[in-house]
Amino acid sequence: MIILKRFSVWIALAGVSFAGWVLMGANKIEPMPTPVSEPPRSPYEQTVAASGIIESVNENVRIAPPVAGLITKMFVAVGDQVKEQAPLFQLDDRELRAQLLTRDAAIPPLQAQIDEQKYRIGDLDTQLRRLKSVHDERAVSEDDLKRTWYALEVAKRAQQRLEATLKQAIAQRDEVAILLDRLTVRAPREGTVLQVNVRAGEYATPGASEPLLLLGDTQRLQVRADVDEVNAPMVAPQASGVASLKSLAGTKIPLTFVRIEPYVVPKKSLTGDNSERVDTRVLQIIYRFDRPPFPVYAGQQVDVFIQRQPAGPAAPAPRPAAPRQQEPAP
Amino acid sequence: MNYVALKMLFGDRAKYLMLLCGLTFAVMLIVQQGSIFWGLMIWSQSSVSNLNVPIWVTDPGIAQVDEVKPIAATAVDRVRSVPGVEWAVPLYKGLLRARLSNGDYHQITLTGLESSTLIGRPAEVLEGRFEDVLQPDAVVLDQWAVERMGGPDVIKIGTVFELNDKLARVVAIAKTQKSFTNIPVVYTTYERAIRYVPRERRTLSYVLAKAKDGVPVAEVTKRIHEQTGLGAFTAEDFGWKTIGWVLKNTGIGINFGTTILLGFIVGMAIAGQTFYLFTVENLRQFGALKAMGASTWTLARMILLQAFTVGLTGYGVGIGLATVFGFFTARSGGLPFIETWQLLLLVLVALLAICTFSALISIIKLARLEPAIVFR
């Protein structure tokens, strides 16, 4: 073949094969790199996705002091589990304790007086009985008898008065004791100490903007899921759902429906900025869940998928612009 | 007869080389310009192709990928609620100014990827690990950012600079396709990107999504558009949308179109003219053949064989040279040069058209040829 004797033909063949080789190598579309962790996927065919936050079932309690006062002792630290009525911190109680001493001291004299009065009554009672047992009118005058009787009655009334005074003194002592007890601030319910913002030696005032202690229940947690108001009609009550932690999207936590918050609130985009910015409005749905084997914390963000009811309202598609009907020409 | 035709063609070495050179350079010019043009177009949509995700969701009025129109943050959940969507993650994209420690300012494109999955990250990392972007204040630059912001001496792993007065620390350098505007790309997580940028009411730029296996992507984008009212595009469509925008709003299309057309015309003129001259100079031989009884049809076949032989040889050498040029200049990614088989096919068709055209002129000349010319 004459054609193969030409050098230029070989160059041409080389050129074509080089171009082909470069093309084969260059225009390959690389596959997408695998995600660092699995992205959240819906387990349902029809779903409403939401972003959720884990929170404690009961709202957190901001513990405040009953009166302004100096804190003398803290009984708890952050993270402590406390039972109901467990002491949290102690306010300065020396003044009331001093009062309690005097109030306490006021009781024994009154009791002594009552005892004294008992003897006096006994004495008069004996006298009166003795006088009554004498039937000779010359020996015991009517006047003596009457006088003794009056004296006995007066003594009895005096005992009643003393007893009332004693009761009053006891009540006064109890009042101080109760006021004293009030200075020990106790947990209103079982929970975990989430924050401690005071130390012994600081002065606590009621109504401070920062709570002295923050008490919450971290044993039982719930998920608050935000659904865009546009998707709100798609959510049916009692719809089941799953949640997954960010970066643990493969592990689904099954959710049990609790309630739908009846008021649609502005969504906050949590940016960590001083003031949160309002983005859109969201329907909030509360879900309960059992603790998964891995740790979850209140305040953690989760991706939520809610099952959409098959017979539920149709997707709220933007209504296609229907061609306007031509008005008949006049 | 074919042997005679080829012998005639190759016999005159100087003429053959001239013919070959003309065709080779015409081919090379068209291929090279076409590839550079296509390379620029690919660069213009590199923001889409670098992220390499199947579906882009954003405001329906979007013109091109770099013209960001933020949407509400709940759009991610709304896209996730669309049947057929396997996953959807947020993406931040926006321009920001970076200030280096030496006082230099650079405009950069901040790209915030969803932090737990890092979907949209480049496949290849030149230095460091991309996953380190999860560390505090960490960012990843692309290789062009290093080049633009002062070279590897100024920007390396561990370099600290300011983004909107906030600290950013380079932990890795990723390999990406250069972009048309060549604005450095800074990758970080979505949450941190929002912390870097000035306050805006809406911050979500795009929702990146993928269709479930077995559901056509086009069907899913249609559903997303119908159910959410947002604009959903496949990566391919979005890339084309961006290319269309560039062609419409810049002079690149006309510039390169003119050059390619000129290449075509010049190639055609040279080839046609040279080939015609070649035929004319060989008229005596053809006349002899005709006198010996060869029909015009046989002569036409000979001419066509000659034309296609030299044409295909020129094509081969031409695309070979263009590819070598592209291979060595564009290997580093610094020059837009992307050859595609479509372009090569188009050039082949154009070249065959040139050859056929010039052969036709010669054939017409031959058809009118009197065999008696041999004796003149």
What is the tens place of the pLDDT at every residue in A33-89? 888 888 888 888 888 888 888 888 877 788 989 999 999 999 999 988 899 999 999
Identify the pLDDT of residue A324: 44
User: Tens of pLDDT along B97-146?
Assistant: 999 988 889 999 999 999 888 898 888 899 899 989 988 899 999 988 88
d(CA B135, CA B168) in angstroms, rounded, equals 11
Tell me the nearest-neighbour CA distance from B314 into chain A, angstroms. Answer: 7
Which residues of chain A have a CB within 8 Å of the CB of B339? 19, 22-23, 26-27
d(CA A244, CA A247) in angstroms, rounded, equals 8
User: What's phi and psi for B114, nearest 5 deg?
Assistant: -60, 130
Contact between B313 and A316 using a beta-carbon 8 Å cutoff: no
d(CA B127, CA A26) in angstroms, rounded, equals 23
Which residues of chain A have a CB within 8 Å of the CB of B228? 230
Q: Which of A12, A40, A41 sits opposite B312 (nearest CB)?
A: A12
How far are the Cα atoms of A242, A269, B85, B223 from residue A263, in angstroms, in the given order?
23, 18, 29, 29
Identify the pLDDT of residue B28: 87
Amino acid at B288: A
For the beta carbon of residue A119, count every other beta carbon within 10 angstroms. Answer: 10
The DSSP 8-state label assigned to residue A232 in this structure reads: G
Tell me the nearest-neighbour CA distance from B204 into chain A, angstroms. Answer: 10
d(CA B232, CA B208) in angstroms, rounded, equals 9
Pair B179, B144: CB distance under 8 Å: yes
pLDDT over 60 at B59, yes or no: yes
Contact between A305 and B3 using a beta-carbon 8 Å cutoff: no
Residue boundaries of the structural domains of chain B: 2-43+251-375, 72-229
Which residues of chain B have a CB within 8 Å of the CB of A271? 191, 194-195
Pairing of strands B185-189, B105-113: parallel
d(CA A37, CA A128) in angstroms, rounded, equals 102
Q: If you average pLDDT over residues B226-255, what whole number do you get?
A: 89
Contact between B115 and A246 using a beta-carbon 8 Å cutoff: yes
CA B163 centroid distance within chain: 32
State whether residue B21 sits within 8 Å of chain A by CB: no
Query: Which residues have a Cβ under 8 Å from the Cβ of A314 and sit 6 or more positions away?
Result: none
ipTM: 0.76
Amino acid at B157: I
CB interface of B with A, residues 98-117, below 8 Å: 114-117
CA angle A286, A292, A295 (to 5 degrees): 100
Tell me the nearest-neighbour CA distance from B308 into chain A, angstroms. Answer: 12
Q: A111-120, A233-242, B207-216 — which is least confidently predicted?
A: A233-242
- Its sign, for the CA torsion B58, B60, B64, B67, is negative
The DSSP 8-state label assigned to residue A197 in this structure reads: -
d(CA A120, CA A112) in angstroms, rounded, equals 12
Q: If you average pLDDT over residues A120-143, what whole number do you get?
A: 87
Closest CA relative to residue B41, chosen from B249, B180, B234, B185: B180
User: Tens of pLDDT along B150-180?
Assistant: 888 888 888 999 998 899 999 999 988 888 8
d(CA B201, CA A280) in angstroms, rounded, equals 10
d(CA A90, CA A97) in angstroms, rounded, equals 13
Q: If you average pLDDT over residues B280-296, what whole number do you get?
A: 80
Alpha-helical (H) ranges within chain A are 7-26, 94-105, 107-133, 142-182
Contact between B320 and A11 using a beta-carbon 8 Å cutoff: yes
Instruction: Say whether A128 sits in a helix, a strand or coil.
Output: helix
Q: Which of B76, B80, B119 sits opposite A35 (nearest CB)?
A: B119
Tokens 């009692």 -> residue: A238
How far are the Cα atoms of A112, A115, A166 from residue A157, in angstroms, in the given order?
16, 14, 14
Token pair of B342, please? 């479509």
DSSP string across A44-63: SSSEEEEEEEEEESSPPEEE
Amino acid at B101: S
State whether residue B195 sits within 8 Å of chain A by CB: yes
Token pair of B166, please? 């906030």
Per-residue H/E/C for chain B: CHHHHHHHHHHCHHHHHHHHHHHHHHHHHHHHHHHHHHHHHHHHCHHHHHHCCCEEEECCCCCCCCCCCCECCCHHHHHHCCCCEEEEEEEEEEEEEEECCCCCEEEEEEEEECCCCCCCCCCEEEEECHHHHHCCCEEEEEHHHHHHCCCCCCCCCCCEEEECCEEEEEEEEEECCCCCCCCCEEEEEHHHHHHHCCCCCCCECEEEEEECCCCCHHHHHHHHHHHHCCEEEEHHHHHHHHHHHHHHHCCHHHHHHHHHHHHHHHHHHHHHHHHHHHHHHCHHHHHHHHHCCCCHHHHHHHHHHHHHHHHHHHHHHHHHHHHHHHHHHCCCCCCCCCCCHHHHHHHHHHHHHHHHHHHHHHHHHHHCCCHHHHHC
CB interface of B with A, residues 200-229, below 8 Å: 201-203, 226-229
Pair B271, B15: CB distance under 8 Å: no
Identify the pLDDT of residue A315: 46
Identify the pLDDT of residue B174: 92
Q: How many CA atoms lie within 13 A of A133 on its CB side?
A: 6
Identify the band that residue B354 occupies on the pLDDT scale cut at 50, 70 and 90.
Answer: confident
Q: A84-88, B244-248, B273-277 — which is least confidently predicted?
A: B273-277
Contact between B316 and A308 using a beta-carbon 8 Å cutoff: no
d(CA A98, CA A173) in angstroms, rounded, equals 11
How far are the Cα atoms of B10, B288, B348 from residue B273, in angstroms, in the given order?
18, 23, 19
Contact between A39 and B319 using a beta-carbon 8 Å cutoff: no
